[in-house]
């Protein structure tokens, strides 16, 4: 059975919950609201970082199937929506685990959002007003580069939307937001930096996508070989192949592999491998089953000091501080 509820009614239910609290005593703009018990288990945490920049963290397990119907509306901001787990189904964001959705400003058409009770979802959402994005342009008129102009459309034009696979760098920044260890002003500065980092990575991906269009688009066979090379790389994480060996296994020359990999994944081959290795290391350490030195070997590091330096540079904490956390 699917329960249908209006967006207004859903907001009213959340607003009526008395379990709203401030997790950071020094930040009145950081608010956690528990879900109504009959509706879902979990919470939404909303942090107003500054005027025109908001961060939301959702950790929800639905109690039943719900559906909400949203009317046509004007969207005045750009949203980056990343899922660690679960699935979010709607007109613009059919986002699954490990994926992100990006939507721009403009006209949001009528939209049906479906919430499933099958799997809990854990997500990070960053919203930025259009004028805030323009403020990062390095010239007086605030004109976005051609490759990003589709993110800000007139209110009478349907907004831009795309779903993509999150890069390791995106996953790292989102995870750092989720596990922010700071409080007060230090927390706000840290989270704003990470929110902007996610937007920067998103902008980089959009520019790469724009630049990869014909006549520079890769042939479908080449794209398949690039993905195959990525799969080989991740399967041999403990003993990764050399660039020459990887190119040979994928049926490409080294130049095509390097250029194609950057075009498809937005990173160099070994930049991608490094970020993925660090993400795997975090998850292995959180499991609390292996020692730090064992995890280092499992992700391709033979030198424990080198692994510890890389991990701390990536996440801001020592590997041993991550042992046995058992949380995403």
Q: How many CB atoms lie within 10 A of CB 320?
A: 12
Write out the E strands in 53-202: 53-62, 65-70, 73-75, 77-85, 99-103, 106-108, 111-115, 121-129, 161-165
215 — pLDDT class (breaks 50, 70, 90): very low
Q: Report residue 260 as tokens.
A: 């194609």
**Residue-level pLDDT at 91:** 67
Q: How many CB atoms lie within 10 A of CB 273?
A: 21
Q: Is the backbone of residue 224 left (phi > 0), alpha (psi -120 to 50) or beta?
A: alpha
**How far apart are the C-alpha atoms of 59 and 326, rounded to whole Å?**
15
Tell me the mean pLDDT in the region 226-237.
Answer: 86
Write out the E strands in the chain: 2-4, 30-34, 40-50, 53-62, 65-70, 73-75, 77-85, 99-103, 106-108, 111-115, 121-129, 161-165
**Residue-level pLDDT at 246:** 94
Between 327 and 285, the more confident residue is: 285
User: How would you list the strands of the sheet with 65-70, edge to edge?
Assistant: 2-4, 65-70, 111-115
Structural contact between residues 201 and 209, judged by C-beta atoms closer than 8 angstroms: no
Strands 53-62 and 40-50: antiparallel
DSSP label of 108: E
Tell me the mean pLDDT in the region 235-252.
Answer: 91
Identify the weakest region by mean pLDDT among 3-7, 70-74, 211-215.
211-215
Instruction: Assess whether pLDDT exceeds 80 at residue 281.
Output: yes
Instruction: Assess whether pLDDT exceeds 90 at residue 247.
Output: yes
Of 193, 198, 167, give the one whose Cα is nearest residue 275: 167
Q: Is the backbone of residue 38 left (phi > 0), alpha (psi -120 to 50) or beta?
A: alpha
**How far apart are the C-alpha atoms of 26 and 184, rounded to whole Å?**
5
Backbone angles phi, psi at 125, to 5 degrees: -125, 130
Per-residue model confidence as pLDDT tens digits over 158-206: 899 888 888 888 988 999 999 998 999 999 999 999 999 999 999 998 9
Strands 106-108 and 111-115: unpaired
């Amino acid at each position: 059975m699917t329960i249908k509820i209006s967006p207004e009614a859903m907001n009213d239910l959340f607003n009526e919950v008395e379990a709203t609290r401030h997790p950071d005593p020094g930040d009145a703009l950081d608010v956690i609201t528990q879900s109504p018990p009959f509706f879902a288990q979990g919470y939404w945490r909303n942090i107003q970082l500054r005027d025109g920049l908001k961060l939301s963290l959702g950790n929800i397990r639905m109690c039943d199937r719900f559906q909400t119907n949203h009317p046509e509306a004007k969207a005045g901001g750009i949203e980056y929506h990343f899922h660690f787990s679960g699935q979010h189904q709607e007109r613009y964001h059919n986002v699954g685990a490990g994926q992100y959705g990006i939507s721009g400003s403009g006209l949001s058409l009528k939209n049906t959002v479906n919430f499933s009770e099958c799997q809990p979802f854990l997500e990070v959402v960053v919203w930025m007003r259009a004028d805030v994005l323009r403020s990062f342009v390095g010239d007086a008129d605030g004109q976005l580069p051609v490759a990003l102009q589709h993110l800000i459309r007139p209110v009478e034009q349907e907004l831009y939307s795309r779903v993509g696979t999150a890069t390791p760098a995106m996953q790292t920044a989102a995870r750092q937001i989720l596990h922010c260890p700071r409080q007060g002003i230090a927390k706000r500065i840290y989270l704003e930096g990470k929110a902007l980092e996610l937007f920067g990575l998103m902008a980089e991906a959009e520019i790469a996508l724009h630049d990869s269009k014909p006549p520079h688009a890769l042939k479908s066979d080449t794209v398949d070989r690039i993905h195959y090379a990525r799969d080989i790389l991740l399967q041999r994480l403990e003993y990764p192949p050399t660039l020459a060996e990887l190119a040979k296994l994928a049926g490409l020359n080294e130049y095509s592999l390097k250029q194609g990999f950057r075009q498809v994944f937005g990173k160099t081959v070994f930049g991608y491998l490094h970020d993925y290795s660090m993400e795997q290391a975090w998850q292995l350490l959180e499991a609390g089953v292996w020692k730090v030195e064992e995890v280092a070997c499992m992700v391709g590091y033979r030198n424990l000091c080198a692994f510890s330096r890389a991990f701390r540079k990536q996440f801001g904490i020592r590997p041993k501080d991550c042992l046995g956390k058992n949380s995403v």
